[in-house]
Amino acid sequence: MVVVEVPKLGKEAATKAIKEWGQPKSKITHLIFCTTSGVDMPGADYQLTKLLGLRPYVKRFMMYQQGCFAGGTVLRLAKDLAENNKGARVLVVCSEITAVTFRGPSDTHLDSLVGQALFGDGAAALIVGSDPVLGIEKPLFELVSAAQTILPDSDGAIDGHLREVGLTFHLLKDVPGLISKNIEKSLTEAFKPLGISDWNSLFWIAHPGGPAILDQVEAKLELKPEKLRATRQVLSDYGNMSSACVLFILDEMRKKSAEYGLQSTGEGLEWGVLFGFGPGLTVETVVLHIDEIRKAQRAEGPATIMAIGTATPPNCVDQSEYPDYYFRITNSEHKVELKEKFKRMREIHDQEEVHALDRGDLERKSSCVRIHGALVGC
């Protein structure tokens, strides 16, 4: 099922990004496709090349099973490609459908229940290149630097395994603490060369993970509540869409900035950070910049995001289209059992272990509109 639907959803997002970009798709030189939803050969990159009608010799990069930090990874790779291949225009696509994680509640794997309640479906696409063409290509966010690191003492904090039952996720309850404890070190390493140490002076594109993670990061860095507004909005509207999440947040921020008449796509600010984390614990830190001078002229500079497109699946896809894909329980049964399971978890386990879920998350994520129902007959 995901072999078909992941590239199709990616096509929707890519089509929007290409339209905004304003250049013919024949000028796309590289394609980066990222998904944690399944594995196939030829891959989703091949399928998307066919669906979009890209040139057969476009240079493709397929990234499977990276997890939630990969929204930063694709930007790091796109930056390297754009800056080291003159005239390159890189189409970046992250497409995630979480049906492969869907299964009935299990008393032995309560941590996977938290993941099921938070995960969502979505695809996002970007066009990345250096030296935007004046009057045609519009720089949105410059990619100044990008770094990846593994957090110390974090083995097993977030694990995912592709097995016969699908994709299983396992989360330790101290994930929020591990991230918040180490985030300032990553920020300091990224921004010290720029002389920036006030984290409230930045605009923030943070992978949401879950409410508990955002709360602890906000407290640790003493961020003003509005700093994570775009992140919390995307989490509330769509859930945790793994690699696609930070790209959705970029889109949310630039649209709200325009709506409010702010002077830059980054909430009126010049510098920002894109922060992603996932299995490992692996962390990606991307420094973003908005240069108003470069917007008015063609000039050499770092790789730039020139267009963004997003897409979410329709509310329901008739399961009869995929007769060989069997869910253990119906959507309505899942909704009831999930609520009962959550109730028992609160009675039996420490509050800290399950506080990543609040009532809004539970009610929204157990409905067919968001996570699992996007691919379950309703």
The residues annotated with a catalytic role in the active site are: 68, 207, 240
The dihedral built from the CA positions of residue 7, 13, 17 and 23, taken in this order, carries a sign that is positive
Cβ neighbors of 20 (< 8 A, separation 6 or more) are 127, 307, 308, 309
β-pair type (89-96, 30-35): parallel
Instruction: Establish whether the linkage from the previous residue to 42 is cis, with ω within 30° of 0.
Output: yes
Cβ neighbors of 118 (< 8 A, separation 6 or more) are 209, 210, 239, 240, 356, 357, 361, 365
The torsion angles phi and psi of 374, rounded to 5 degrees, stand at -60, -20
- DSSP 8-class letter at 356: T
How many other CB atoms sit within 10 Å of the CB of residue 53?
9
Angle at CA 128, nearest 5°, toward 182 and 183? 5
- DSSP 8-class letter at 370: S
